[in-house]
Amino acid sequence: MGYAHASTPGPAQEGAWRFTAPAAASSVPRLRHAVRDLLGRQPVRVPEDVLQGALLILSELVTNAVQHAALLSPEIGVEVSLGGGWLRVAVEDSHPYRPKALEAEPFREDTGGRGLLLVKALTGEAGGVCDVEQTSAGGKIIWAALPIG
């Protein structure tokens, strides 16, 4: 797993960090622990409930990438950023499929996407936002931002 401190755009409590890992089940706990440790070392303290929610969201997003994108995306990227009173976690893969579970009204009879429905619910309960964006290379980034203040 790679780690790079991408930037520190403002005061000491702001920054963005990027991790890369193989699209394998073993990456889920490794990335979760790495992000928890990273956030624990920052000058700004993320409230415990927000931290636990963000780690659960991260686990769901990485699991989703591992289960559904590994064939086209042997490596996934995770970005964590703190700034402006928000904690943002994002998972990037090379698969072009845009999951329907994050749409405004996902299909109720669809049996897939339950992890992303959980992400949407957790994010909404925390007063945050989540979405999926296409990358210029044809993949996607699924992200969630939670308020920390």
Q: What is the pLDDT, as a whole number, of residue 21?
A: 95
User: What is the C-alpha to C-alpha distance for residues 61 and 69, in angstroms, rounded to an integer?
Assistant: 11
Q: Would you write out the chain's pLDDT as a tens digit for each of its 149 residues?
A: 454 333 333 344 589 999 999 999 999 999 999 999 999 999 888 999 999 999 999 999 999 999 988 888 899 999 999 999 999 999 999 988 877 666 555 455 444 557 788 899 999 999 999 999 999 999 999 999 999 98
Q: Which CATH class is domain 2-147?
A: alpha beta
Q: What is the pLDDT, as a whole number, of residue 72?
A: 84
Q: What is the pLDDT, as a whole number, of residue 84?
A: 92
How buried is 30 (Cβ within 10 angstroms: 0-12 exposed, 13-18 middle, 19+ buried)? middle
Q: What is the pLDDT, as a whole number, of residue 19?
A: 94
Closest CA to 17 of 92, 89, 123: 89
User: What is the C-alpha to C-alpha distance for residues 98 and 134, in angstroms, rounded to an integer?
Assistant: 8
Find the DSSP H helices in the chain: 27-40, 48-69, 114-125
Q: What is the pLDDT, as a whole number, of residue 113?
A: 55
Q: Is the dihedral of CA 29, 128, 119, 77 positive or negative?
A: negative
